[in-house]
Amino acid sequence: MKSTATILDYFSFLEDTYLVSFLPKFSYSMKKQMINPRKIYVIDTGMIKVASTSFSKDEEHKLENLVYWELRRKGKEVYYFNENGCECDFILMKNNKVEQIVQVCYELTPENTTREQRGLHEAMKFFNTDKGIIITNNQSDTYIFNGQQINVKPAYQYFCDYPQNEL
């Protein structure tokens, strides 16, 4: 059995070689950021297929992975949010302020819409903002829920609508 330090070294080596990246949970406390679990994103989506135990095509993970790397490529300070049993995929920060709150869902369906919206709404409430985005594969919509505006955009449109250095 390997020690925790050895396993952390291995993770660090993977990150140093740009094979993976670890996304910290948002917290105003650096100590909490360090001790909370991190989400992992791979540079090569083929690794998702190899490592997955799922029989599905994992489009959801692949799209989230793509969005993560594009945000990183644009130099965004990115975290994930997880409070009260609700998770939101990306919190974009700039100068210690929330710039944007983003949820990724390959396809909004009657089965997953409530879950995806709940995570986004919880993050919006936590950060006291009235706008959020759900990035999908090809769906578009805008709606208001409890005074909060939610824009649903396909990934290509989300990244094409903004200048290269601005999201």
Average pLDDT over residues 31-55: 76
Sketch the domain layout of the chain as residue ranges. 4-160
Q: What is the pLDDT of residue 1?
A: 52
Angle at 81 between CA 80 and CA 85, to 5 degrees: 135
Q: What is the pLDDT of residue 36?
A: 87
Average pLDDT over residues 42-60: 70
User: pLDDT digits over 147-160, tens only?
Assistant: 899 999 999 999 88
Residue 163 has pLDDT above 60, yes or no: no
Residue 58 has pLDDT above 50, yes or no: yes
Amino acid residing at 117: Q
The overall average pLDDT reported for the chain is 86
User: pLDDT digits over 90-129, tens only?
Assistant: 999 999 899 999 999 999 999 999 999 999 999 999 999 9
Residue 165 has pLDDT above 50, yes or no: no
Reference 63, options 38, 30, 41; nearest CA is: 41
Spell out the residues 6+ positions from residue 81 whose beta carbon is closer than 8 angstroms to its own: 25, 26, 87, 88, 91, 101, 119, 122, 123, 126
Taking a C-beta distance cutoff of 8 angstroms, is the pair 151, 128 a contact? no
Q: What is the pLDDT of residue 129?
A: 94
DSSP element (H, E) containing 70: helix 59-73
pTM equals: 0.85
Residue 48 has pLDDT above 60, yes or no: yes
Neighbours of 105 (CB within 10 A): 23
Q: What is the pLDDT of residue 35?
A: 83
6, 26, 133, 143 from 74: Cα distances, Å: 32, 19, 17, 27
